[in-house]
Amino acid sequence: MQRDTLIFDLINKELERQRHGIELIASENFTSLQVMEAMGSVMTNKYAEGYPGKRYYGGCEIVDQSEQLAIDRLKQIFNINYANVQPHSGAQANAAVLLAILQPGDPILGLDLSMGGHLTHGSPVNFSGKLYQPHFYGVKKEDGLIDYDMLETKAKEIKPKVIIVGASAYSRDWEYERIRKVADDVGALVMADIAHPAGLIAKGLLNSPFDHCHIVTSTTHKTLRGPRGGIIMMKSDFENPFGQKDPKGNVRMMSNLLDLAVFPGTQGGPLEHIIAAKAISFGEILSDEFTNYAKQVISNAQAMAAAFVEKNYQIISGGTDNHLMLIDLRNKNISGKKAEQVLVKADITANKNMVPFDDKSAFVTSGVRFGVPAITTRGMKEENMRFVVDSVDKVLSNADDEKIIMNVKNDINAFMKQFPLYPELR
Ligand code: DSN
């Protein structure tokens, strides 16, 4: 077969783009070479519908072992009793959980997308808002923190079957215990989507949801620094409280419902090459090196937030407990859309983001979200955050001056040479 130089040229260009620039998208990271090696391995050739030891195809003895290792290592990371490593993504993990628990039309309560939530937490343009009956809580206008009183009032009013905890653009920790009390009062289950802070929770640097939330989902490629994918976890199994029975009339356990909701409920064959890569990244997370990484993520985020505050940037909630921050740019007279566009010209990648109570649409937005997981993997420390913030500020303050932006870009390209990315790759 002829080598597809067209695509490999593009892959090389993407490698160079990643090497030259400052990656501030809060949900991105750089996996290890061994994780990428597993993703490009022969495991991709294997069909393995089912679960280890219970497959619908022959020849699964080897993938059974690597999937079991992924499950066992994930259980060890979070000290839990149930893990499903097959979801292809965080959205697939959330789809499976909701399918396992709910009937079409059942009420759910999640954080509003425009307040930092996620599409799969009930947005009307997503399956979660189309199949179920979505309701939302938000953050408080005065301090940008989760409005737990509002959550409680709404929960009592609508009696959701699931309360969804978690966010894509919220820089503070969560009061899981408080939410569980509300859920118990109204007869709801709590699902925590920890896709963003999972790597920090894994190392005990943020509150753990596992003692208070019935089911926990995550992606594996953000702060967990693994391959792109999803996972579902529970500290302990429990009987499904909403009455689904098995064919013999027995109440089904939640682990059984979750496994069935992933396969055959929402997915077909698992991606065994990705699952092998997940297993490798979970092994990496168990190391002391990852503990240092997670601590550095938080230190870098706090140093970055302090540098932005010094330059009069308005961080929602005033700072960060985790790896990201959401900045309201209205006092800087630039929209999130324009900020994203001009930053890219200087090889700084970030994403526009709505801020709470935004007066602009999701396509324009008043805000921008910055995160440090990727630049921390590149090796940056607290003392480098000032250069990053100065560069961002120079671009946003001179958004129509191509010459200044090109100077910033040249400085960034030179600066990033100190932090080699995949030097083993040509
Ligand atoms: N796309 C992810 C993020 O950027 O936060 C959420 O799914």
Domain map of the chain by residue range?
A: 34-285, 288-418
> What's the confidence (pLDDT) of residue 117?
95
**Residues 220 and 194 sit within 8 Å (Cβ to Cβ):** no
Q: Is the peptide bond before 420 cis (omega within 30 degrees of 0)?
A: no
Q: Which atom of ligand 1 is nearest to the CA of 91?
A: 7
Instruction: Return the residue whose CA atom lies nearest to atom 5 of ligand 1.
Output: 168
Residue minimizing CA distance to atom 4 of ligand 1: 27
Question: How much distance in Å is there from the Cα of 252 to the middle of ligand 1?
Answer: 32
Give me the helix-helix angle, 402-415 and 336-345, nearest 10°.
60
Domain 34-285 is found in CATH 3.40.640.10: yes
Q: What is the pLDDT of residue 93?
A: 98
Helix (H) and strand (E) counts in the chain: 15, 15
The type of residue at 237 is: D
Q: Measured from the CB, is residue 168 less than 6 Å from ligand 1?
A: yes
Classify domain 288-418 at the CATH class level. alpha beta
Residues 208 and 231: their CA atoms lie apart, in Å, by 16
Mutate to test the pocket of ligand 1, among 23, 92, 118, 194 (most ligand atoms within 8 A of CB): 118
198 within 8 A of 190, measured Cβ to Cβ:
no
Ligand 1 nearest atom to the CA of residue 169, by list position: 5
Taking CA atoms only, the protein residue closest to ligand 1 atom 1 is 27
Mutation to probe ligand 1, out of 23, 115, 128, 168 (largest number of atoms < 8 A from CB): 168
Residue 242, pLDDT score? 87
Please give the pLDDT value at position 241. 87
The catalytic residues are: 47, 49, 193, 219, 222, 228
Those residues of the chain that have pLDDT short of 70 are none
pLDDT of 1 = 93
Look at residue 166 in the predicted model and tell me its pLDDT: 98
Q: Which amino acid is at 345?
A: K
Q: pLDDT value at position 229? A: 98
Coil/strand/helix, residue 51: strand
Q: Is the CB of 27 under 6 A from ligand 1?
A: yes
Q: Is the pTM of this model over 0.95?
A: yes
Point out the ligand 1 atom lying closest to the alpha carbon of residue 168.
5
**C-beta neighbour count of 135 within 10 angstroms:** 18
DSSP 108-169: EEEE-GGGT--GGGT-TTSHHHHHSEEEEE-B-TTT--B-HHHHHHHHHHH--SEEEE--SS
Residue nearest to atom 6 of ligand 1 (CA): 168
| Rounded CA separation 258/19 (Å) | 39
Ligand 1 center–CA 375 separation, angstroms: 17
For residue 120, give the ligand 1 atom closest to its CA: 7
Q: Is 288-418 the same fold as 34-285?
A: no
- Ligand 1 centroid to residue 227 C-alpha, Å: 15
DSSP state letter for 321? S
Q: Buried (b) or exposed (e) across 296-323, using 16+ Cβ within 10 A?
A: bbbebbbbbbbbbbeeebbbbbebbbbb
Q: Which atom of ligand 1 is nearest to the CA of 196?
A: 5
pLDDT of residue 189: 98
